[in-house]
Amino acid sequence: MHFEPYPFEKLNDLLKDIIPNKNYTPSVLTIGEPQFETPDFIQKTLCDNTALLKKYPKTTGETELREAMRGFMQRRFHISLTDAEIIPTFGTREVLFNFPQFLLFEKENPVMAYTNPFYQIYEGAAIATRSKVIHLNLDAQNNFKPQINEDELKSCNLVIINFPNNPTTASLSLDELGTWVKLALKYDFILLNDECYSEIYTDKPVPSLLEAAKHVGNEDFKNTLVINSISKRSSAPGLRSGFIAGDAKILKEYMKYRTYVGCASPLPLQATAAAAWSDEAHVAASRKIYQENFHVAQEILGVEIPEATFYLWLHVGDALAFTKKLYKEYNVKVLPGEYLARKNSEGKNPGIGYVRIALVESVEKTKEALTRIKECLGE
């Protein structure tokens, strides 16, 4: 198997010979990792449960964790899930890589579609399953929302969408998500929405694909799945707590597969994650900081505030040249958009011309970094 280097490896290669301006404090705005302390109650819960290390964890997840995750879905999306409709996972990266391998194993010529730009694990899963890939290209012309080509979708076995979207920051409405649910039923493909940024909304809560399934009458979530994670929500990526939820028929067989994968979360992490999934106050506090960061970005760079995520998808012209100049002269690192995308059928990479900026620092640090970016843009 041949996998593309990760975007951050490409960035390191791009900048390897550049000596940054030492007159500025380094500012790294490349990775979607919250730079805030994990809330104290989460850290304390972990410390209080270290004795559980003496026990093997269940692949199915402990009852306490499953109930906390179901409680989150009920509070946030008004979705009542049965125990058969949700599986705790070791974050969501492993799911995105191994679920397609489970699902497509018996397909002779599997076809995957996913949004482009994308989280690179989608591509890795396509490579591992020998799938033909259909890119759902996101660009300014379509407002960064995937255009529907039913002739292509009818050939798909698995479609992965990602809304709220990384990196473009676009969101889909309940009705727009509902359209995708209907297509999954019409053409009998499995539809998975990567919802890891659902809790980083800037004004109104954004919908879940499972809400949309209910909205269009798909009460048992047939062919419909979502994943979500605690990493962004709770500033706790090290907890590696996520879940996959939806179609119970699919999840029943996937659960059998997972017993062989061996990726059960350690019990102290499960107990800690249960506490984090059960609390909303700390999430609201983080969300307020991200909202302030976006207001700062609007003031300094004149950008629109997106509905969700903590990114800016900023058009800068020659993104590679801009990234090098910004690092050399202002000691700020951003990620070229073309590293997050691939060429479409017309030979155009929809990420060209953009940089992704992660607003994951304090308001003060964000203001300083964005001011440098503005100065670099003005030169």
Residue 300: Cβ-neighbour burial (10 angstroms; 0-12, 13-18, 19+): middle
Amino acid identity at 334: V
pLDDT value of position 108: 95
Q: How confident is the model at residue 18 (pLDDT cuts 50, 70, 90)?
A: very high
pLDDT digits (tens, 9 = 90+) for 276-313: 999 999 999 999 999 999 999 999 999 999 999 999 99
* The architecture CATH gives domain 54-279: 3-Layer(aba) Sandwich (3.40)
**Strands, E assignment, the chain:** 27-28, 86-90, 111-116, 132-137, 158-161, 190-194, 224-229, 241-246, 311-315, 332-333, 335-336, 354-358
322-354 b/e with 16+ CB inside 10 Å = b? bbbbbbbbbbbbbbbbbbbbbeeeeeebbbbbb
pLDDT value of position 345: 80
pLDDT digits (tens, 9 = 90+) for 56-94: 999 999 999 999 999 999 999 999 999 999 999 999 999
What average pLDDT is seen over the chain?
A: 97
Alpha carbons 221 and 247: distance in angstroms, whole number:
5
Amino acid identity at 153: L
What are φ and ψ of residue 105, in 5° steps? -55, -40
- For residue 281, CA distances in Å to 204, 289, 361 come to 16, 13, 20
Q: How confident is the model at residue 145 (pLDDT cuts 50, 70, 90)?
A: very high
Instruction: Give residue 143's Cα distance to chain centre.
Output: 19
Q: Nearest Cα to 258, choosing from 143, 84, 94, 110?
A: 94
pLDDT(379) > 80:
no
pLDDT(16) > 90:
yes
Alpha carbons 61 and 255: distance in angstroms, whole number:
11
Assigned token pair, 357: 């900026």
- For residue 315, CA distances in Å to 155, 170, 333 come to 34, 15, 15
Pairing of the two strands 354-358 and 335-336: antiparallel
pLDDT value of position 311: 98
pLDDT value of position 344: 83
pLDDT(190) > 90:
yes
- pTM for this one? 0.96
| Rounded percentage of the chain residues whose pLDDT exceeds 70 | 100
Stretch 197-206: mean pLDDT, rounded? Answer: 97
What lies within 8 Å, CB to CB, of 87 at 6+ separation is 60, 61, 243, 244, 245, 251, 254, 255, 258
What lies within 8 Å, CB to CB, of 12 at 6+ separation is none
* CATH 3.90.1150.10, the chain: domain bounds: 7-37+282-378
Looking at the domain 7-37+282-378, which fold is it?
Answer: Aspartate Aminotransferase, domain 1 (3.90.1150)
Stretch 11-26: mean pLDDT, rounded? Answer: 97
| Coil, helix or strand at residue 330 | helix
pLDDT digits (tens, 9 = 90+) for 107-131: 999 999 999 999 999 999 999 999 9
Q: How confident is the model at residue 319 (pLDDT cuts 50, 70, 90)?
A: very high
Alpha carbons 358 and 366: distance in angstroms, whole number:
9
pLDDT value of position 60: 94
Taken as a whole, the chain contains a residue count of 379
Alpha carbons 196 and 242: distance in angstroms, whole number:
9
Q: Nearest Cα to 341, choosing from 113, 8, 115, 14?
A: 115
* CATH 3.40.640.10, the chain: domain bounds: 54-279
pLDDT value of position 224: 98
Stretch 330-340: mean pLDDT, rounded? Answer: 98
Q: For the residues of 167-189, what is the DSSP string, one character each?
A: TT-----HHHHHHHHHHHHHHT-
| Coil, helix or strand at residue 153 | helix
pLDDT value of position 1: 83
Q: How confident is the model at residue 346 (pLDDT cuts 50, 70, 90)?
A: confident
Alpha carbons 306 and 163: distance in angstroms, whole number:
12
pLDDT(183) > 80:
yes
Pairing of the two strands 241-246 and 86-90: antiparallel
| Coil, helix or strand at residue 146 | coil
